[in-house]
Each structure stands twice: as C-alpha cells, then as structure tokens.
Chains A and B, each alone.
Chain A
C-alpha cells in the first residue's frame, strides 16, 4: 500500500512541476521545473516495472536534451529584458478561448479512459527483453531511427553553421 502511494506522490510532483514550468517567465526557472517533472516521470517508469526506460529517461531526457536547452539559453543571453517581454505576452484574454475548448476535449478523453479496467502487471520488463525485441522484430524501426538521427545531425549542423560569423566561414573556405 505504501508503494502505491509512491506512484501518486510522483504523479503529483510531475503534474505540479509541469504546470510551474509552463507558467514561469524566466526560461532557466522553467527548465529546472521541467527537469523535476522528467525525474518524476522516470520514478513512475521505475514503479510500473520499466527500469530501462527510467534510466534512459534520466540519461537522455533530463541529461542530454535539457543540457542542449541550457546551452542555447546561455548563448541567447536573454536576461531581465526577456523576463519582462514574457510577462507582457502572457495575457489571459488571448489564451482562454482555446484553453476552454481543449479542456472539453480533455474531459471526453477522461470519459474514454475511465472505461479501461485492471492494473499494470506485477512483473518488470527487463532490459534484456527490450533489447531482444528491439533487434528482433523492430530492427527496421531501429534503422529508421538511426537515419532520423543522421538527418537531425545534418540539419542542426547546417543551421548552426550559418549562425557563425561570415569571417569564420570565409576562413574555412580558404
């Protein structure tokens, strides 16, 4: 029973941290709340018997992807000016309409989910099973994922390269 409450605590932390992340005006504060939310989701993964997914969530999401965000925010150097700009943009009259309509869709989704029955199974799915499945029936998906990563690499290199000064590019061309 105690362990079930762990799930509800982690779920509450994830939801509260995500709401805080979405409403902050300072980008770094929002990023720290987002990291807390990802860690809470990793705890949920661990509790429902997916330890490998939990480890990947921490290493790749909370580690690598969030570090990318930190670097870009540092490069942009927004400071106090960006903070005021954000506060000015967050006017309720702009977003209240779409928020209400999507809330109606969310209530419909809740109605559908409430029809589902049963707990998640009590046995953990180990990393070995995941690996066997990944390189067995899903090997084509792995290839597609590697090609997607290559496309992301080339695209971000192209975009980031033109961010450099013209002088750097000319020096490279010589």
Chain B
C-alpha cells in the first residue's frame, strides 16, 4: 500500500476539527454516556494527528503512540462505563449535575 501525497496540514485540519467537535460535545452534553463518547472522539483525533505526523516523516513512532492512545481509551471506557452503571443505580438518572459531590 502506497501512501498518498495528502498535504500534512489538511490532515491536521481534519484532526483539529474532530477535536473541536468532540470538545463542543463535551460542553453541550450532560448525559454521562455522551460525555464518554465525546472523550472517545477527542482521543481519536489526537491519535489521527500522531499517525499523520508519523507518516509525514516516514517513521513508525506515530503508530506506536497511536497504540498507546488506544490502550488509554480502552481502559478509560471500561472504568467510565462502570461509573455510568453506578451513577444510574445511585441517582436514577444519567445527568452528571446530580453527581457533583464526592460523597452524595
């Protein structure tokens, strides 16, 4: 598979647009499931930037960092969804504003 001569700044533009959309989603949402989805989008856009930079210099380091980001995302989602179940059980809602105290 040959890489294409896509301009690097266009890929970084897509990546930062994805990050901005994810951050917007994080701000406008109060449902904890949508907050976790927005975090996934933001991590994914950071991974895209890393892979694009690795491809720019023809080095494997970008994909190595992509794999580390994948690990972080997997661990974060596993713990986050466990917390979703706890919040739903304790407050009977998914609104994060109800979970604003450390000891509810």
- Residues of B at under 8 Å CB distance from A? 1-14, 16-18, 20-25, 27-31, 33-34, 36-38, 40-41, 44, 47-48, 51-52, 54-64, 66-68, 70-79, 81-86, 88-89, 93-95
Give the nearest-CB partner of B28 in chain A.
A95
Chain B residues within an 8 Å CB radius of A34: 37, 40-41
A48 touching B4 in the complex, CB below 8 Å, given contacts A114-B9, A153-B78: yes
Chain A residues within an 8 Å CB radius of B76: 152
Chain B residues within an 8 Å CB radius of A109: 16
Leading 7 A-B pairs by shortest Cβ distance: A49-B3, A152-B75, A159-B82, A22-B25, A95-B28, A119-B5, A156-B78
Told that A48-B55, A53-B66, A53-B67 touch, could you supply 4 new A-B pairs with CB distance under 8 A?
Answer: A30-B34, A99-B28, A120-B52, A124-B2
Chain B residues within an 8 Å CB radius of A19: 21
Measured in the bound complex, the distance between the Cα atoms of B16 and A116 in whole Å is 14
Chain A residues within an 8 Å CB radius of B67: 53, 56, 130, 134, 145
Cβ-neighbour of B11 out of A44, A95, A163 (below 8 A): A44
Chain B nearest Cβ from A151, distance in angstroms:
7
Chain B nearest Cβ from A107, distance in angstroms:
10
Interface of B is mostly: helix
Measured in the bound complex, the distance between the Cα atoms of B9 and A4 in whole Å is 14
Give the nearest-CB partner of A6 in chain B.
B4
Chain B nearest Cβ from A114, distance in angstroms:
6
A152 in contact with B37 (CB, 8 Å): no
The tally of residues in A whose CB lies under 8 Å from a CB in B reads: 87
B64 in contact with A50 (CB, 8 Å): no
Chain A residues within an 8 Å CB radius of B52: 48, 120
Chain A residues within an 8 Å CB radius of B59: 125
A37 touching B41 in the complex, CB below 8 Å, given contacts A7-B4, A49-B2, A61-B70: yes
A22 in contact with B72 (CB, 8 Å): no
What 1/0 mask marks residues of chain A from 45 to 58 whose CB sits below 8 Å from any chain B CB? 11111111100100
Chain A nearest Cβ from B30, distance in angstroms:
5
Measured in the bound complex, the distance between the Cα atoms of B79 and A72 in whole Å is 12
Restricting to A144-174, which residues have a CB under 8 Å from any CB of B? 145, 148-149, 151-153, 155-156, 158-160, 162-163
B3 in contact with A138 (CB, 8 Å): no
Measured in the bound complex, the distance between the Cα atoms of B89 and A149 in whole Å is 25
Give the nearest-CB partner of B56 in chain A.
A120
A65 touching B56 in the complex, CB below 8 Å, given contacts A86-B31, A110-B16, A159-B85: no
Chain B nearest Cβ from A132, distance in angstroms:
7
